[in-house]
Amino acid sequence: MLQVEVPPYLSQVPLVAFCRERGIAVTAYSPLGTGAVIDGSTVVGNPVLQEIGKAHGKSAAQVAIAWLAQRGLVVIPKSVTPARVVQNRDVAFDLTAEEMTAVAKLNKDCRNGFGGPLSADGLPRDVKHPLYPFRPGGPAF
């Protein structure tokens, strides 16, 4: 089991594929993006997710969680609001292939949770570590 940050703005496709090839399950933490504004909106305020949600009678948050679950990831959203905790479990609906693609297109490879700070040269803080897995061309191991 590998637990990594996976909101729609950081889809982690190469890492998830790497894990699948090796039989490693992936747990997605921060699936709602911790409230960070990326490309002009938060995950829950994203117009694409809101539009898809409207078509299913669901929230943008539920769409993001369903998208991850439909990708086969274990999803652990966080909320301190009891109603949202219940809502975050109500994701047993199917997104269409077109909706899955629309959500996937939100990816910006932008980390917004822990580990996201950039160094003075504009690169991710940990990029020089020999086991940093997100460099172009894949992991260094």
Tell me the whole-structure pTM to 2 decimals.
0.80
pLDDT tens digits along 123-136: 776 777 777 766 66
pLDDT tens-digit map of 48-86: 999 999 999 999 999 999 999 999 999 999 888 999 999
* Residue keyed to tokens 């994701």: 91
d(CA 48, CA 63): 10
For the four alpha carbons of 121, 126, 132 and 134, in that order, the dihedral sign comes to negative
What does the mean pLDDT of the chain come to? 88
pLDDT tens profile 94-114? 999 999 999 999 999 887 754
Strand residues in 2-141 grouped as ranges (E): 2-5, 26-29, 74-76
Angle at CA of residue 77, ends 4 and 53, nearest 5°? 115
